[in-house]
Structure 1
Amino acid sequence: MGSSGVEKVGVLVIGAGPTGLGAATRINQHGLKDWLLIDQADEAGGLACTDITPEGFLFDMGGHVIFSHYLYFDQLIDAAIGSGDKAWNTLERVSYVWIKDRWVAYPFQNNISALPKEDQITCINGVADAKVANATAQTKPANFDEWIMRVMGTGVADLFMRPYNFKVWAHPTTAMQCEWLGERVATVDIKRLVNNVIVNKEDASWGPNAVFRFPLEGGTGAIWKGVAKLLPKDKQRYGKDNGVTGIDKDKKIVKLANGRSIQYDALISTLPLDIMLTWTGQDEWSKGLTRSSSHIIGIGIRGQCPHGLKCWLYFPEDNCPFYRTTVFSHYADKNTPAPDAKLKTLCLGDASDAKGSQAEAGPYWSLMFEVSESTEKPVNQKMVDLGGGKWAEVVKECVIGALNTKMISKDDQIVSLYHRRLEHGYPTPSLGRDGVLAEALPWLRQHNIWSRGRFGSYKYEVGNQDHSLMLGVECADNVLFGAKELTLNHPNIVNVKKNMELIYSEPTFLASHK
């Protein structure tokens, strides 16, 4: 404590999500003693935490699964919760798009053979026209919408890509750039597409997450609570008193909800960049960043899951409010209560009351829905009666949407309901984003503030859990030694697995752990 009554620390880390924990882990490995990690939540996890309902159903804050580009990440999470089949389920991605009252394998653009013939023709003609037009184009696509049209054509664009992406991002594809895409959106091989149509082949092997891991217990949040336990307890502070209420960039002071202040030499912040810029007097930069909010809605259901090995599923049509549904019970048995747990039915699959319900045993399964929100895509949050309680209208809409899309039946017994709204859900790769980042991040750095993380650096293309952790690890190395930050500055390099195997075998967690 300084003579002024202000606490002083060498490196202050704000936020105990994957990025903040990555930074703290790396600082601790280097043997630095003068650091502190703070978070207003009661425990570590950030946007990668897991909630549990009163009935015992677990729900993550979105469709988080583990697939990694980094050896460091793999070693750290194994150190946190264990390795092998004693700690993890290893699952094969089984994903589909529900459209035209049928399942189409993901990625949609490789599997139009499942569509009605007239839609197959429209999509093939569109892809062919796009291939010709793109070959003669003189400029790069100006936005995401132009990229879709050049790569996939009108058919795929209108049938799936445009409506689906608006449901995800809550912003039109014309307002988004396309530099962020990388491995995240499959392109189209017209020969492969036509062959799949002719032989009626399902082609679902694309992508970096075709195989993924998930913890046997505790959901995704268990990983990050485990990482936090590897760090010294006296260097971590949790709870609402540790919420940040303001920052004086000139005096290098962070103001806390409990009225106290911490003065730092270096600040690693995972606070949303838009909030940081507002607090540091850069409102115009803040206004140049676009985001959406997320609603996570969960239902727990009595009975056997009817969806086999399906993992996560996509919904582009307007017969449901959600863009993605995860069969969350499939990821781990302990994501639901034990089969012998006795629970009352709250409502039925058509959202009607379950009058006179008595507590009965399981088994149980669960679905997790994701709904985006923005000023351009509002969400109905009026409180309504559902399952004997008051819930936002969007929860009821999700139940009805699940019925409309045949995820549940009208007689299914729903025994648990869940809803959480995340103000900061998705950082949008907007047209003006890169211009803001090019100015804002170096400007903050001049004031000894490193803003990093899913929302700290606003780069969705490096916003997965492995990326987010490494943003913190590399930031810590930059703070302490001036090392390069590969993940922040070169997303297109780190998102290619073979690149990482060639050029980034270090740092590893085990090699430098003390």
Structure 2
Amino acid sequence: MCLGESAGIEKVGVLVVGAGPTGLGAATRINQHGLKDWLLIDQADEAGGLACTDVTPEGFLFDMGGHVIFSHYQYFDELIDAAIGSGPEAWNTLERVSYVWIKDTWVAYPFQNNISALPAADQIKCLTALADAKVANTVAQTKPKNFDEWIMRVMGAGIADLFMRPYNFKVWAVPPSEMQCEWLGERVATVDIDRAISNVINHKEDAGWGPNAVFRFPLEGGTGAIWKGVAKLLPQENQRYGPDCGVTHIDKDSKVVTLRNGKRIQYDALISTIPLDITLRWAGKPELADGLTHSSSHIIGIGIRGQCPHGLKCWLYFPEDNCPFYRTTVFSHYAKKNCPEDSAKLRTLCLGDASAPPDSQAEEGPYWSLMFEVSESYCKPVNMEAVALAGATWPAIVKDTLIGALNTKLISAQDQVVSVYHRRLEHGYPTPSVGRDAVLTEALPFLRQHGIWSRGRFGSYKYEVGNQDHSLMLGVECADNVLFGGKELTLSHPNIVNAKKNTELLYATKTFLQSHN
């Protein structure tokens, strides 16, 4: 592809940095409009971004977090079906079965609707505090100032202290008092006090809440297969991958991006999914960057020989301090090919209690797997000291996670662990901090004035539109804005796009998509 050269600088009309869902959405939309002068680059070896999938040497697949497919957009649905196929030949459709492990028992998710599973004393504490909160919220004259105040007003001290406060600290790695509450939307279930009382009296499990009660997952290749498939729909000559494509600096004034290999690319418009805090420092706005908060994520996986003991469970929540992880996904349940074939012969690396196996001779399966998520921040450090485990050296958090899985009865002491995985993501969650919106109100228009559209999970720092469908549409709508001044509904109005499936947000896509089926 000839994009033009001048004084050693490559020139391009639209440069897209990052081949995750947002970058791929932008590139797809630009390509649909027939523009030829664009380039998509990523420092990874293939497309996927934070939605990629890794494979262990033993053949176990692990996503970079608990990704599942549920959508607010027809555009998104049609594109991913074009990428990997549609129907049961390409997808598993699963019903969400989620629980909270607390006080040595499983409580159906969402916790606040299922306090009937708790001991009687805790039920009384939760219901009494819930009634008090309802009264206090009714007479309140102001909105909650932060997430913690929202929890107290909506759920009361009982649910707050048992679950919401400890769990959310484990997820976000900052206290809820440091977070705003405008991001909540469909993310957190509120409580109907009459329903809660009825569930207690009738001993009823009430687990149907939420937009992801039914979700899809690829039959093979994990979540990453979706985005590699989307990339294949695009002209390969407009895409570049690998470490040399990593961006080391953006000069906002000359509109030049410098790559790790020293090459420079000049653009007319830049769609960047680089974390906004990094971009702002390059742009000479460190004071704005300092106003943004993120947590890091540790993804830890174990592959185990035997039959999975957890039935139809999908993902599970852990608010207590007997384990370092806040969420575990029974990843083998999502797709059979997330694990090696049963006939594959693998040796036991360690037992469930982290001890050495009596015999490490390779044996056949079947196999199952668990994927854990651990957060890290300035106020929630993670132990990264090197320790011996499974015949290798791992960060201590990996061994702590294995012991936590034993403590929470996810595995037994005699389970045979045949694969171990760990990856740290510096930018894991964009924190909806109390001061975030003030930063975004200044930062995004500032960059836009210099030809930079910063979009995506971390490009625009809006967790409330950070799912895969949202992220793709942030890119699609951004491309329309770059080319034609189109409105960016997902970026500007999260509550609208999260209110219902937006079949009215139709684009001229069917001809393009059908041509690739």
Instruction: Assess if the C-alpha contact under 8 Å between 1:71 and 1:508 holds in 2.
Output: no
Counterpart pick for 1:390 among 388, 393, 400: 393
Specify the code of the residue in structure 2 equivalent to 1:474.
E
- 2: CA distance, partners of 1:497 / 1:59: 30
Counterpart pick for 1:60 among 59, 63, 88: 63
1:464 aligns with 2:473: no
Report what 1:266 is aligned to.
269
- 2: CA distance, partners of 1:327 / 1:376: 29
- 1: CA distance, partners of 2:475 / 2:97: 31
- 1: CA distance, partners of 2:159 / 2:331: 29
Secondary structure of 2:322's counterpart equals coil
What does 1:428-507 align with in structure 2 at a 5 Å threshold?
Answer: 428-498=431-501, 500-501=502-503, 503-504=504-505, 506-507=506-507
How much has 1:3 moved relative to structure 2?
2.9
Report what 1:194 is aligned to.
197
- 2: CA distance, partners of 1:413 / 1:194: 43
Report what 2:250 is aligned to.
247
Report what 1:100 is aligned to.
103
Report what 1:21 is aligned to.
24
Report what 1:256 is aligned to.
259
How much has 1:452 moved relative to structure 2?
0.1
Specify the code of the residue in structure 2 equivalent to 1:175.
E
1:129 aligns with 2:140: no
Secondary structure of 1:198's counterpart equals helix
- 1: CA distance, partners of 2:6 / 2:485: 31
- 2: CA distance, partners of 1:222 / 1:510: 22
Report what 2:235 is aligned to.
232
Counterpart pick for 2:328 among 325, 330, 352: 325
Report what 2:422 is aligned to.
419
Instruction: Assess if the C-alpha contact under 8 Å between 2:19 and 2:41 holds in 1.
Output: yes
Report what 2:382 is aligned to.
379
- 1: CA distance, partners of 2:113 / 2:508: 37
How big is the alpha-carbon RMSD for the aligned residues of Structure 1 and Structure 2? 0.8
- 1: CA distance, partners of 2:359 / 2:467: 45
Q: Per-residue displacement from partner, 1:436-461 (whole Å, max 9, x unpaired)?
A: 00000000000000000000000000
Q: Per-residue displacement from partner, 1:265-287 (whole Å, max 9, x unpaired)?
A: 00000000000000110000000
How much has 1:21 moved relative to structure 2?
0.1
Report what 1:2 is aligned to.
5
1:510 aligns with 2:510: yes
Moved beyond 6 Å, runs of 4+:
none
- 2: CA distance, partners of 1:257 / 1:134: 54
Instruction: Assess if the C-alpha contact under 8 Å between 1:72 and 1:508 holds in 2.
Output: no
Counterpart pick for 2:33 among 4, 11, 30: 30
Specify the code of the residue in structure 1 equivalent to 2:168.
N
Q: TM-score, normalised by structure 1?
A: 0.99
Instruction: Assess if the C-alpha contact under 8 Å between 1:217 and 1:335 holds in 2.
Output: yes
Q: Per-residue displacement from partner, 1:222-249 (whole Å, max 9, x unpaired)?
A: 0000000000000000000110010110
Specify the code of the residue in structure 1 equivalent to 2:53.
T
Q: Per-residue displacement from partner, 1:194-241 (whole Å, max 9, x unpaired)?
A: 000000000000000000000000000000000000000000000001
Q: Per-residue displacement from partner, 1:64-97 (whole Å, max 9, x unpaired)?
A: 0000000000000000000000000000000000
Instruction: Assess if the C-alpha contact under 8 Å between 2:348 and 2:359 holds in 1.
Output: no
Secondary structure of 2:6's counterpart equals coil
1:118 aligns with 2:118: no
1:154 aligns with 2:151: no
Counterpart pick for 1:174 among 165, 177, 185: 177
Report what 1:348 is aligned to.
351
Instruction: Assess if the C-alpha contact under 8 Å between 2:292 and 2:436 holds in 1.
Output: yes
- 2: CA distance, partners of 1:212 / 1:126: 34
Report what 1:69 is aligned to.
72
- 1: CA distance, partners of 2:198 / 2:273: 47
How much has 1:356 moved relative to structure 2?
3.3
Specify the code of the residue in structure 2 equivalent to 1:281.
G
- 1: CA distance, partners of 2:255 / 2:186: 39
How much has 1:429 moved relative to structure 2?
0.2
Instruction: Assess if the C-alpha contact under 8 Å between 1:87 and 1:215 holds in 2.
Output: yes
- 2: CA distance, partners of 1:508 / 1:489: 22
Report what 1:303 is aligned to.
306
How much has 1:118 moved relative to structure 2?
0.2
Instruction: Assess if the C-alpha contact under 8 Å between 1:351 and 1:396 holds in 2.
Output: yes
How much has 1:347 moved relative to structure 2?
0.3
How much has 1:509 moved relative to structure 2?
3.1
- 2: CA distance, partners of 1:215 / 1:497: 24
Aligned residues: 511
1:81 aligns with 2:84: yes
Specify the code of the residue in structure 2 equivalent to 1:507.
Y
Instruction: Assess if the C-alpha contact under 8 Å between 1:98 and 1:313 holds in 2.
Output: yes
Q: Percent same amino acid at aligned positions?
A: 79
Q: Per-residue displacement from partner, 1:277-299 (whole Å, max 9, x unpaired)?
A: 00110000000000000000000
Instruction: Assess if the C-alpha contact under 8 Å between 2:146 and 2:178 holds in 1.
Output: yes
Secondary structure of 1:13's counterpart equals strand
How much has 1:507 moved relative to structure 2?
1.7
Secondary structure of 2:5's counterpart equals coil
How much has 1:407 moved relative to structure 2?
0.2
Instruction: Assess if the C-alpha contact under 8 Å between 1:75 and 1:508 holds in 2.
Output: no
- 2: CA distance, partners of 1:295 / 1:381: 11
1:143 aligns with 2:146: yes
- 1: CA distance, partners of 2:63 / 2:251: 34
Specify the code of the residue in structure 1 equivalent to 2:138.
A
- 2: CA distance, partners of 1:89 / 1:385: 37
Instruction: Assess if the C-alpha contact under 8 Å between 1:152 and 1:187 holds in 2.
Output: yes
How much has 1:508 moved relative to structure 2?
5.3
Specify the code of the residue in structure 2 equivalent to 1:362.
G
- 2: CA distance, partners of 1:314 / 1:480: 43
Report what 1:290 is aligned to.
293
Specify the code of the residue in structure 1 equivalent to 2:236.
K
